[in-house]
């Protein structure tokens, strides 16, 4: 299979699309759902079979209608408004670019973006994304399958510094932090606070998978590090996000 040619024209198109995405995400206040879309397109990757991953397949009706992707049609439609202006750009690149821009416009780290992903219309089987009702071993099973590490799991979970859950989409409700439009390390600060006061009626959201990061000693090491040191979180997050956005993709 020949890789798509990322020539000077394509790169220029990426830069104008990046500017359009910045303005769009800022105006629509949709950074959280754009980041979630990027994760759900990429997070189906299986390193053994080299299937799934950031290939735009989430635009398949059958895939976006799955329970795990509930609500993401909104983000797919948002991206379509950018795609019509930049038809050259693959959906796979566009969704990952939207994720990178979402982090950037909310004050997060700059994530290196390399274009050239190919679109695939074949969806992987259902069940490859994490289930929020489970714990540490499930998280490892899912993220190790992608070829990611414990450090990646904790750093990427920091994406929950943005946005929140909606009962009609996931059975959960609420935000993880008091400033869900700001990308910072407050997700980790809040996680540790809760661990100290387990009986307190909690106002902020904690999924079972979020709690697992505090309960598992190997995960907790990173939670504590990121809660103390935002710069360390930003550095690791940017590296892990780049890995996630390039699963199965060899830049040419």
DSSP letter for 165, please.
E
Q: Is 209 in the site for ligand HEM (CB under 6 A)?
A: yes
User: Pick from 13, 21, 32, 86: which binds ligand HEM (CB under 6 A)?
Assistant: 32
Among all chains, which residue has been given the structure tokens 């994530």?
111
Smallest gap from Cβ 211 to ligand HEM, in A, equals: 11
Handedness of CA 223, 214, 148, 41 (dihedral sign): negative
Count, residues near ligand HEM per rule CB under 6 A: 23
Is residue 160 within the footprint of ligand HEM (CB under 6 A)?
yes
Element (H or E) spanning 183, and its range?
A: none
* Residue 139 in the binding site for ligand HEM (CB under 6 A): yes
Which CA distances in Å does 55 have to 8, 116, 217? 22, 10, 34
CB of residue 2 to ligand HEM, shortest distance in Å: 31
40 is known as an active-site residue? yes
| Interaction between residue 146 and ligand HEM (CB under 6 A) | no
Asked if 197 and 190 touch (Cβ cutoff 8 Å), the reply is no
Q: Taking the CB of residue 9, how many other CB atoms lie within 10 A of it?
A: 10
- What are the two backbone dihedrals, phi and then psi, of residue 157, each rounded to the nearest 5 degrees? -60, -25
Q: Which of 18, 22, 145, 166 binds ligand HEM (CB under 6 A)?
A: 166
Q: Closest separation between CB of residue 10 and ligand HEM, Å?
A: 25
Distance CA 60, CA 115 (A): 21
Choose the stretch contacting ligand HEM; rule: CB under 6 A; options: 89-97, 166-174, 190-198, 220-228: 166-174
Of 99, 96, 102, 101, the C-alpha closest to 114 is: 96
- Within residues 65-84, the interface with ligand HEM by CB under 6 A covers 71
d(CA 21, CA 189): 30
| CB closer to ligand HEM, 4 vs 75 | 75
Nearest distance from C-beta of residue 139 to ligand HEM, angstroms: 6
In whole angstroms, what is the distance from residue 90 CA to residue 83 CA? 8
Smallest distance from ligand HEM to CB 176, Å:
8
The reply to whether 223 sits near ligand HEM by the rule CB under 6 A is no
Site residues for ligand HEM per CB under 6 A = 32-33, 35-36, 39, 71, 130, 132, 139, 156-157, 159-160, 162-166, 169-170, 172, 207, 209
Which residues are known catalytic residues? 40
């Amino acid at each position: 299979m020949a890789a798509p040619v990322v020539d000077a024209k394509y790169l220029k198109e990426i830069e104008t699309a990046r500017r359009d995405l910045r303005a769009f995400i800022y105006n629509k206040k949709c950074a959280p759902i754009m980041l979630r879309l990027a994760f759900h397109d990429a997070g189906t990757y299986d390193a053994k079979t080299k299937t799934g991953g950031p290939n735009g397949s989430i635009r398949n009706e059958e895939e976006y209608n799955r329970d795990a992707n509930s609500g993401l049609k909104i983000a797919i439609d948002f991206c379509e408004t950018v795609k019509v202006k930049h038809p050259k750009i693959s959906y796979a690149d566009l969704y990952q670019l939207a994720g990178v821009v979402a982090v950037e416009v909310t004050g997060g780290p700059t994530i290196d973006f390399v274009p050239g992903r190919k679109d695939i219309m074949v969806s992987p089987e259902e069940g490859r994304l994490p289930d929020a009702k489970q714990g540490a071993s499930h998280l490892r099973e899912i993220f190790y399958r992608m070829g990611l590490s414990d450090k990646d799991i904790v750093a990427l979970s920091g994406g929950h510094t943005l946005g929140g859950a909606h009962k009609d989409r996931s059975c959960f409700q609420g935000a993880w932090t008091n400033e869900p439009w700001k990308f910072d390390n407050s997700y980790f600060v809040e996680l540790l606070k809760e661990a100290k006061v387990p009986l307190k009626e909690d106002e902020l959201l904690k999924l079972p998978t979020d709690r697992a990061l505090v309960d598992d000693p190997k995960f907790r090491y990173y939670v504590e590090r990121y809660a103390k040191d935002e710069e360390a979180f930003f550095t690791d997050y940017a590296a892990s996000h780049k890995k996630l956005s390039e699963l199965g993709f060899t830049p040419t």
